[in-house]
A and B are shown apart, each in its own frame.
Chain A
Amino acid sequence: MSSISSKWVPKQRDYVSEHKQFNKPTTVTTNHPLGVIVASKQQTVTSTTSSPIIDPLSAKISQVDIDPLSRALSAAISTNKKESSDGIAATTPDTFEPWSSKKSLILNQYSTTKKISMTTAMNNTNDEATIDNSKASDMTTTSERIKNRLEQLDAFEGGQQTQSLTQQEYINRINEMSRDMSQAWKSDQRVKTLKIAIQCCKLLADMNVMEFYPSKFCLITDVLDTFGKMVYTRLLEKCAPPNGKIPDRIVIDLVPETTRETARNWFYKIAIIRELLPRILVEAAILKCYNFLSATHYQSTLVQLVKMCRGIGDPLVAAYARCYICRVSIDIDFKHREPIEVAFTDLCQSFHQITTPTVKNLYASQKLTTSIYLSLYSPALDWVVQCLLHKLDDKKIEQMINKTKAGLDVPSGGIVLNALLNTLPPSHVRAKVQTYIGMINDCDEQYFPKSILYRSLGLSLLLSPPESTPSDIQILSSVWKVVTKFKDPSSYMACAEVWTELISKEYTIREVNTMIGDIIKHLTPDRAFEEYYGRLHAIMIKLLTNVEDFAALFSMDKILPFLDLFQRENVRVDIFKSILHAFVSRNSQEKTNDPVLIAAMIHCAKCVHDTLGALTNDDELREVSGLLSAIIRKVDYGKDVEQELKFCVEARGLFGYIDSVTITLIQKVNKLAISTYHNVNGVHSAATSSFIRACMAFCYITIPTLEHPLHKLQLYTLCSQTAYLNQSPSQGDGFLKTAITLLSEFPKQIEIEGKPISSDRYLYESITNIMGTLVVVPDNPDGSVLYLANGLSNVISQMKCFDEASETRALLLMNMLCFLTTQVQSTLPYHIPKVESNDTLYGNDENFINEIHQRLSRLCEQIIQILKDMGNTNPKRQSSLALEFFNRFIAHTDLSQPKCLKFVVNLWNLIQKNASPDTQKTAKRMLIAIEINSNSDQSFKHLLELLSGTMNETSRVSSRSSSTSNSIQSFNTGD
């Protein structure tokens, strides 16, 4: 049928029937083959649905999950525990906030940048003492002894050193002491251990840098706790019968006499510590060891210890010493209330001392205000009050509140009320909120700042959600009436931070607006806001998380003035980033078309975008670009596509710096075109088609601004496809033409994820994609036949980015062959609705077909040439490439033609020459496919016969070690 002799004779194909043949009926899979096998237990399903929030990490594993053996074991353990009298078992219930959680809060809150001085004895006092001891034994007269003793004392004085340390150094020092202590204990130096513990306690008596005191207390009591635990564990070990197991609790009758003796000895040692504070603290640390002596002795001792704290002159030190005793007390027996009650009353009493000149001078000398000084008490008092209120019945709580109420005007009134607000159950505070507001108002500002009280009240209210929202406006107005009068911005902000959160949770947007307005009013004078960026940021975050309606939040008239408070650029960018994050993550599916909201977001986004520059690091760039893209995706005007296009145009102008945002915009416009296509059901009116052209034009001028050539190529292809789909072939042609032009100077290497990568693989994919598009592209009547395809194949043969060794060019040419083959068919494999492709345009015109045949044979020769050249340089690659060619050949050519058949057989022989194992495997698979096809197709049957014939022959040939050039010779004879 063709006039030109060619090896490549396209076969006629019926795509519809082929398609049917390939699309065999399938069954839907329900299970992932690699998925975890889930036994569908009805029970578990219901349990998860009934309580949606189950923390998988929580220790409360439901009893069901335990196997029967361990269940029996756990039952045995629990009965054991019951035996040990519920009083002593240190199981404090859940409502009690454990010290460990308080501790981290305290350590964060009470820090300092000042230098802390630390006075410690030199380490080697122990050795000195022993040496001097032996010396002393030689002394005969008393006077000599005295002299020696005085020398020792002097030496000891000299041995003390005072260092100035930063906070971190101080912490390290204490940790070091703790380590030394454990070390000494392990090496059986118990005196040294005790000495270190005592030295630690002495540090607590040191009042310099008071702001750090609560943290210091935490650190040092940790050391004491370790000490107590070591002593206790050791005594417990000594309770073990010979070769027996160490008991896990104390049975008083079974404690051996030696253990009692040791325990008693410890208490005797501690009793002779001369100084008060170490004596109290160390005894408290090992108080648990009283259990080895008697079951109840600790009770009276605890009371005694608490009372001994009265002897501590400094009220702050005394308060923390009481706090520690309460900690020990609640640990040993939380039912024993007496020591805690004594501690509380003593603590309240001790606040009278604060007004004495001694104490006043002390904190004035460290430049602390009264309110800061008083706030240092708060952790200790909170703890004591928490211990006190723990499991207390309502009547007693009532009594206590009344007592506090009666004593509001005394120095301790405010701080005790604060502790109550911090520790009382939030539901209780919520119920009686008006009473508490009244109490706060009755407090004397000179003793304790009201701002802290209001803040505590707010925090407590936050923990207990009201019965209904919006909650009582009365509360807010009565509180704010006072707070708004605070002159000092720091105390005002302390309240505002908490109350803004409360308002955002429980009140309407109107109150939020008023509140923010109030904040602005307070912070504007003297540019006070500069000090409070942190708190303002926190407020904004709270608003973003709590206010449901984002649009309402940004339609408040005070929000922009509020955002204007953030005037330092980095703070401003941070807050905008937070806003954008909140907006994006709010509801990822939800779109918006609210102009106010969009304007606000774009404003924020612009600010964030404008900070980017050459110095921005990659991570930040990625974060910001992700954010901006997400924002763009969030905007959806629905049917108002023109508005949306306008938005994209604007956005392009604003965010030109980041490529990925531009890509998002192009994608968005494409999507817009497609959705328009769907809206009109594929039938464009004049208006819609001009809109499509507008979209395409947008893309056409935007894509060149991108830097990455691969992105450009892919987007050009995508846009051309969109254009063709929307029946604007001239635009599509334009895109493809630019894409093809782009190919001619495509770089050898492109950067993917920051690494330079050879562009071969990506080009193969992209160009093949373009060819796939070209199948349906109608020829431009003004141009020559297959103008674009022609251009593409020219570019492929001339592209500089392919190495000599690269086989991509050959593969692409082969694909080009396949493409041209489709153009000869009477019907194309696929069509675009309403677009007349070449099959309709040319209607199998003879000239057209001839033209294609010529091109086919030219291409074929080109490929054969490449194959030949490769034979000299890389026979293995030649073989695999030949296999690819073979594959395409048998798929697309008419094998009934003898020429084709002969060429195919030659190709097969070439494959067999230098096949690598991989190639062989593929070839074998291909043979099987031919075998299957041979059942239905006569020509394939013939091919199979020939192939199997040559197979035997070639094996003989190869055994005679024939050279490659031979086979090339035979391959050429096909001509």
Chain B
Amino acid sequence: MSGSVDIRLNRHTKTYNENDIVQGTVIISVPSSFKHNGITLTVDGSVQLHLSGKSVGVFEAFYNSTKPVTLINQTLELAKPGQISTVRTEIPFQIQLKGKPNKPLYETYHGVFVNIQYFLRVDVKRTFLSKDMTKQIEFNVEYSPSHELAAEKAVAKPAAFEITSESIRIAQNKVDVPKFKISGHLGSLCCTITNPLSGEIVIEESELPIKSLEIQLLRIETCGCAEGFSRDSTEIQNIQIGDGDVAHKVEIPIRMLFPRTFTCPTLLTTNFKIEFEISIVLVFEDDRMISEISPCVICAIHAPSDRKCIQTCMDYCINDSESGIPIDLCNNACTTMCYSARGTLGSDEFNWEDDE
């Protein structure tokens, strides 16, 4: 017997703050009536931690996957055992998001080694012989403006920088660096997640023609537990701000939006840390590449119901020219995984616009 269960949330954006009441409807449509042993609704939120094979070794990574940290686990009985008669049954529900004691609800975050995700699951228990029916959807959590973790307000920390061939030579101990000088500034190293990162960069001089000038957003994920900890930095996105041999002594604007759900306010806990870095990448015509990294703190200052969810990211094809950079030159090549390559997102439905 086939049938389907679906969950519809009243809030279109699927984004909630802690203590919000999640309202919605469970829709069960079946071709004919059947008996069931109860319908339950579960809210499940957890932090998934993976150790990367790079820092602790493949075997450790495989066996010592750290236990997920449960943030919320609530169950609600929607219906007592009984009979579902009509073809389409709608059961409205509401449930308050309240984390476990001493466990704040962190913002949703999709990373490589750390994932913070929230799910809403409905189970229709069936009689002995037939299979249970289940449906799970993800929803997003973000800090309310008054949240204690959001308390760290974005303080403008403008950062001027100057990169020259000499400074690179000292820092990275590379001998063969073409002569160049770049200066510029970032609007602030402490950014608000909803506002774009801004700044300016000037190519003062360059011996070789430039092929590309890019801004890279990196995530630093640290997982720590009794067995040890791993700290890895991986690329989130890479945005080109200069294409071709850019005019010298001209202020080129830096502007980058933080991709939603792939970034979250910088989070430092005892078990894990999520931090971000900005890197300026300069590629010369002969494909030699220079990069300079500076840390960046992202703060969550949300206007109420401003930040929205997207279930699945744009697929990586749009960023196809990533391949323009020789992989081996990229620091994080091995983990420069596009988000789409990750199977954990359950991208069974590619909901482009969140239309419904």
Using an 8 Å CB-CB cutoff, how does the interface string of A259-279 with B read, 1 for contact, 0 for none? 001101101110111111101
Contacts of B265 in A (CB 8 A): none
A143-151, A716-724, A872-880: which one contacts chain B?
A: A143-151
Contacts of B242 in A (CB 8 A): 276, 311-313
Nearest to B308 among chain A residues (CB) is A261
Q: A149 contacts B243, CB within 8 Å?
A: no
Residue among A142, A272, A276, A311 making CB contact with B318, cutoff 8 Å: A272
Q: B244 contacts A313, CB within 8 Å?
A: yes
Q: A136 contacts B341, CB within 8 Å?
A: yes
Q: Is A236 an interface residue (CB 8 A)?
A: no
Contacts of A820 in B (CB 8 A): none
A195-B352 Cα distance, complex, nearest whole Å: 13
A314-B211 Cα distance, complex, nearest whole Å: 11
Q: A272 contacts B319, CB within 8 Å?
A: yes
A142-B12 Cα distance, complex, nearest whole Å: 35
Cβ of A282 to closest chain B Cβ, rounded Å: 10
Q: A313 contacts B246, CB within 8 Å?
A: yes
Q: A191 contacts B352, CB within 8 Å?
A: yes
Using an 8 Å CB-CB cutoff, how does the interface string of A130-147 with B read, 1 for contact, 0 for none? 100100111101110110
A802-B267 Cα distance, complex, nearest whole Å: 113
Q: B308 contacts A265, CB within 8 Å?
A: yes
Contacts of A277 in B (CB 8 A): 243
Q: Is B152 an interface residue (CB 8 A)?
A: no
Nearest to B238 among chain A residues (CB) is A274
A39-47, A349-357, A860-868: which one contacts chain B?
A: A349-357
Q: A268 contacts B259, CB within 8 Å?
A: yes
A7-15, A302-310, A630-638, A888-896: which one contacts chain B?
A: A302-310
A233-B338 Cα distance, complex, nearest whole Å: 32
Nearest to A260 among chain B residues (CB) is B308
Q: Is B209 an interface residue (CB 8 A)?
A: yes
Q: A313 contacts B315, CB within 8 Å?
A: no
Q: Is B251 an interface residue (CB 8 A)?
A: yes
Nearest to A207 among chain B residues (CB) is B244
Q: B317 contacts A269, CB within 8 Å?
A: no
Q: Is A962 an interface residue (CB 8 A)?
A: no
Contacts of B317 in A (CB 8 A): 125-126, 129, 156, 195
Nearest to B53 among chain A residues (CB) is A142
Q: When A146-B334, A261-B13, A311-B213 are in contact, do A157 and B252 touch as well, CB less than 8 Å? A: no
Q: Is A198 an interface residue (CB 8 A)?
A: yes
Q: When A142-B53, A149-B338, A195-B318 are in contact, do A261 and B354 touch as well, CB less than 8 Å? A: yes
Q: Is A257 an interface residue (CB 8 A)?
A: yes
Q: B244 contacts A314, CB within 8 Å?
A: yes
A362-B330 Cα distance, complex, nearest whole Å: 29
Q: A191 contacts B315, CB within 8 Å?
A: yes
Nearest to B352 among chain A residues (CB) is A190
Q: Is B90 an interface residue (CB 8 A)?
A: no
Q: A274 contacts B319, CB within 8 Å?
A: yes
Q: A136 contacts B12, CB within 8 Å?
A: no
Contacts of B246 in A (CB 8 A): 310-313
Q: B334 contacts A262, CB within 8 Å?
A: no
Using an 8 Å CB-CB cutoff, how does the interface string of A884-918 with B read, 1 for contact, 0 for none? 00000000000000000000000000000000000
Nearest to A359 among chain B residues (CB) is B245
A356-B244 Cα distance, complex, nearest whole Å: 13
Nearest to A313 among chain B residues (CB) is B244
A304-B251 Cα distance, complex, nearest whole Å: 12
Q: When A141-B53, A149-B341, A268-B260 are in contact, do A313 and B322 touch as well, CB less than 8 Å? A: no
Q: B209 contacts A311, CB within 8 Å?
A: no
A149-B315 Cα distance, complex, nearest whole Å: 13
Q: Is A358 an interface residue (CB 8 A)?
A: yes
Q: A258 contacts B12, CB within 8 Å?
A: yes
Q: Is B293 an interface residue (CB 8 A)?
A: no
Chain B: interface residue total (CB-CB under 8 A):
59
Q: B323 contacts A308, CB within 8 Å?
A: no
Q: When A268-B259, A311-B243, A311-B246 are in contact, do A198 and B318 touch as well, CB less than 8 Å? A: yes
Residue among A267, A276, A349 making CB contact with B241, cutoff 8 Å: A276
Chain A: interface residue total (CB-CB under 8 A):
61
Contacts of A129 in B (CB 8 A): 315-317, 340
Q: Which parts of A102-141 form the interface with B (CB within 8 Å)? A: 121, 125-126, 129-130, 133, 136-139, 141
Q: When A265-B353, A271-B256 are in contact, do A148 and B308 touch as well, CB less than 8 Å? A: no
Q: Is B247 an interface residue (CB 8 A)?
A: yes
Nearest to B333 among chain A residues (CB) is A146
Cβ of B134 to closest chain A Cβ, rounded Å: 18
Cβ of A496 to closest chain B Cβ, rounded Å: 38
Q: Is B173 an interface residue (CB 8 A)?
A: no
Cβ of B321 to closest chain A Cβ, rounded Å: 5
Nearest to A194 among chain B residues (CB) is B318
Q: Is B58 an interface residue (CB 8 A)?
A: yes
Q: B240 contacts A133, CB within 8 Å?
A: no
Using an 8 Å CB-CB cutoff, how does the interface string of A232-276 with B read, 1 for contact, 0 for none? 000000000000000000000000011001101101110111111
Cβ of B338 to closest chain A Cβ, rounded Å: 7
Nearest to A142 among chain B residues (CB) is B53
Contacts of A198 in B (CB 8 A): 318
Q: Is A153 an interface residue (CB 8 A)?
A: yes
Q: Is B159 an interface residue (CB 8 A)?
A: no
A304-B252 Cα distance, complex, nearest whole Å: 10
Q: B354 contacts A142, CB within 8 Å?
A: no
A137-B338 Cα distance, complex, nearest whole Å: 13
Cβ of B276 to closest chain A Cβ, rounded Å: 15
A274-B343 Cα distance, complex, nearest whole Å: 23
Q: Is B30 an interface residue (CB 8 A)?
A: no
Using an 8 Å CB-CB cutoff, how does the interface string of A79-118 with B read, 1 for contact, 0 for none? 0000000000000000000000000000000000000000
A265-B314 Cα distance, complex, nearest whole Å: 10
Q: A271 contacts B257, CB within 8 Å?
A: yes
Cβ of B228 to closest chain A Cβ, rounded Å: 18
Q: Is A538 an interface residue (CB 8 A)?
A: no
A149-B340 Cα distance, complex, nearest whole Å: 10
Residue among B240, B256, B354 making CB contact with A265, cutoff 8 Å: B354
Contacts of A275 in B (CB 8 A): 240, 243, 321
Contacts of A273 in B (CB 8 A): 318-319
Q: Is A785 an interface residue (CB 8 A)?
A: no
Q: B318 contacts A136, CB within 8 Å?
A: no
Residue among A133, A265, A310 making CB contact with B247, cutoff 8 Å: A310
Q: Is B250 an interface residue (CB 8 A)?
A: yes
Q: A145 contacts B321, CB within 8 Å?
A: no
Nearest to B256 among chain A residues (CB) is A271
Q: Is B239 an interface residue (CB 8 A)?
A: yes
Contacts of B316 in A (CB 8 A): 129
Q: B240 contacts A146, CB within 8 Å?
A: no
A385-B342 Cα distance, complex, nearest whole Å: 49
Nearest to B309 among chain A residues (CB) is A261
Q: Is A171 an interface residue (CB 8 A)?
A: no
Q: Which parts of B184-223 form the interface with A (CB within 8 Å)? A: 196, 209-210, 213
Contacts of A930 in B (CB 8 A): none
Q: Is B52 an interface residue (CB 8 A)?
A: yes
Q: B342 contacts A310, CB within 8 Å?
A: no
Contacts of A358 in B (CB 8 A): 209, 245
Contacts of B253 in A (CB 8 A): 304, 307-308, 310-311
Q: When A311-B242, A312-B244, A352-B247 are in contact, do A156 and B323 touch as well, CB less than 8 Å? A: yes
19 A-B contacts (beta carbon < 8 Å): A129-B315, A129-B316, A129-B340, A143-B53, A145-B341, A157-B323, A265-B354, A272-B259, A272-B314, A279-B240, A304-B253, A310-B247, A310-B253, A312-B243, A312-B246, A313-B244, A313-B245, A349-B247, A350-B247
User: Which B residues fall within an 8 A CB radius of A?
Assistant: 12-13, 52-53, 58, 62, 196, 209-210, 213, 237-247, 250-253, 255-257, 259-260, 305, 308, 310, 313-323, 327, 334-335, 337-338, 340-343, 347, 350, 352-355
Inter-chain pairs besides A157-B323, A271-B259, A274-B319, 13 sampled, C-beta below 8 Å: A125-B317, A156-B320, A156-B323, A190-B352, A195-B317, A257-B13, A269-B318, A310-B247, A310-B252, A312-B242, A349-B247, A350-B247, A358-B209
8 tightest CB-CB pairs across the interface, nearest first? Answer: A313-B244, A137-B343, A271-B257, A311-B242, A313-B245, A276-B243, A307-B253, A276-B240
